Amino acid sequence: MKGLLEEILEIPSRARLCYQKNRGIKLPTGVPYLGMGSSYHAPLTLFYCGKDIHPRIASEYYNYLARRVLPQGVLISQSGESSETVWNLDCFRSVIVITNNPNSSLGTSKKARKVVELFSGEEKFPTTKSFINTLIVLYLGLGINPLRGIRALEKNFNNFQEFAKRQAEDIFNYLTTKKIKGLYVIGSGPNAGTASQASLTLSETTKLSWIGMPVAQYDHGPKETAENTVVIILNSNGKDKKRIELIKGKLKAKSNACIIELTEKELPEQLSPFLFITQLNFIMNYLADDMKIKRVFQMGEKVTTVPKSVHR
pLDDT value of position 3: 86
> Phi, psi (5° rounding) for residue 193?
-65, -40
CA atoms of 131 and 54, how far apart (whole Å): 18
pLDDT value of position 296: 61
CA atoms of 274 and 193, how far apart (whole Å): 11
Positive or negative, the Cα torsion across 208, 275, 128, 74? positive
H or E element in which residue 212 lies: strand 211-213
pLDDT value of position 310: 60
Q: What is the number of helices (H) and of strands (E) in the chain?
A: 11, 9
How does 102-111 read in b/e, with b if 16+ C-beta sit within 10 Å?
eebbbbebeb
Q: At what angle do helices 272-290 and 190-206 cross, to 10 degrees?
A: 10
pLDDT value of position 232: 98
Do the domains spanning 4-145 and 156-290 agree at the CATH topology level?
yes
- Whether 269 and 236 have beta carbons less than 8 Å apart is answered as yes
> Phi, psi (5° rounding) for residue 257?
-55, 145
Q: Where are the domains of the chain?
A: 4-145, 156-290
Side-chain-facing half-sphere of 211: CA atoms under 13 Å: 15
pLDDT value of position 295: 67
Could you confirm whether domain 156-290 is CATH 3.40.50.10490? yes
- Whether 230 and 174 have beta carbons less than 8 Å apart is answered as yes
Per-residue pLDDT of the chain (312 residues; tens, 9 = 90+): 678 999 999 999 999 999 999 999 999 999 999 999 999 999 999 999 999 999 999 999 999 999 999 999 999 999 999 999 999 999 999 999 999 999 999 999 999 999 999 999 998 878 899 999 999 999 999 999 999 999 999 999 999 999 999 999 999 999 999 999 999 999 999 999 999 999 999 999 999 999 999 999 999 999 999 999 999 999 999 999 999 999 999 999 999 999 999 999 999 999 999 999 999 999 999 999 999 987 665 545 446 555 666 655
User: What is the fold, at CATH topology level, of the domain defined by 4-145?
Assistant: Rossmann fold (3.40.50)
CA atoms of 92 and 147, how far apart (whole Å): 32
Question: Which of 3, 57, 4 is CA-nearest to residue 282?
Answer: 4
pLDDT value of position 302: 44
